[in-house]
Amino acid sequence: MSMTAEQKGCYDKLVSQIQQEITSFCQIPFTIPKEEVIRIINNAKMWFYKHYEYSVQEKYYALRAATFQSDMFKKSGEVTMPESVWAVNSVYQINKWAGEDGGFGKKSFTGLDPDFALDKFIYNNVYGSGIGSEQLMYYVINAYFIDLARMNLQGMISYNYNYLNRKFRFMGELPKNDVIFLIYEKLNDCDLFSDEIFIRYVAAQVKKQLGRILGTFNFNLPGNIQINYSEIKDQGTEELTAIEEEIKNDEGVDYFFTD
């Protein structure tokens, strides 16, 4: 895996943190190789993308209709998404007949400031009936109706996306206009590595691996001191269970759904 200088620096910093955590700042005379720690970090990243909502962020991507006419698309019927895209949440076609805001919103106020127009609408009969709740109720009902109408008029498009090869494919009729993707983008490595729960997760995985390695060999340290490798492994397992439960309890439902 090729890395930028910034990424390499973030990996080195995290590896150093983990090594210090495992060895209690070099008080314990054993550790595991840097390459193995990096392998564990990369595996942890994949687990976090699937289970931890803060490891990804929502973004919008646009795809021009001209893409569907390109020779590359006609040959494969697929679009290769950027490496940073972890999942595609939904895809919408932009209707050409819509205005700047999809046909609803600020244009319907004919140039008025929306907040001012809403206040005027609600309070226009305050002195007659004493309250403006009726107008507010009408406004909320109509706003809800407009949201539902937009959802139907700009319906979702059937698609399939596989994050392993980053191939996106339309499953039904191709859109005739430009489309907008709502995607989940993987967080920058340096930002993810600064999350304390990610650091704790990697440290727990390293403890499990260290206990597994030490348990393979029977040897004593100088002074005939014996290593309790099972305790190290059990400690890592317990910490992993606690972290996974913490992440699970922090989310009411799955934070994204994919086809």
> For the segment 83-140, what is each residue's pLDDT rounded down to a tens digit?
999 999 988 887 654 444 444 444 444 444 555 566 666 666 555 554 556 767 777 8
- Looking at residue 108, what DSSP letter applies? G
Q: What gap in Å lies between CA 96 and CA 254, rounded to an integer?
A: 34
Identify the CA nearest to 38 among candidates 17, 56, 7, 12: 12
The model's pLDDT over 184-230, given as tens digits with 9 standing for 90+, comes to 999 999 999 999 999 999 999 998 888 887 766 666 666 666 666 77
User: Where exactly are the structural domains of the chain?
Assistant: 5-55+189-249, 56-186
Q: Which residue has the higher pLDDT, 187 or 72?
A: 187
Task: Report how far residue 242's alpha carbon sits from residue 207's, in angstroms, rounded to the nearest whole number.
Answer: 14
In this predicted model, what pLDDT tens digit does every residue of 13-57 receive, in sequence order?
999 999 888 876 455 667 788 899 999 999 999 999 999 999 999
pLDDT tens figures, 230-239:
788 888 899 9
Query: pTM for the full model?
Result: 0.69
Query: Residue 254 has what pLDDT?
Result: 52
Distance from C-alpha of 181 to C-alpha of 61, rounded to nearest angstrom: 5
User: Which residues make Cβ contacts (< 8 Å) with residue 180, sequence separation at least 6?
Assistant: 60, 61, 62, 63, 91, 92, 94
Q: Coil, strand or helix: which one is 143? A: helix
Q: What is the pLDDT of residue 162?
A: 92
Q: What is the pLDDT of residue 206?
A: 92
Using DSSP's 3-state secondary structure scheme, residue 156 falls into: strand
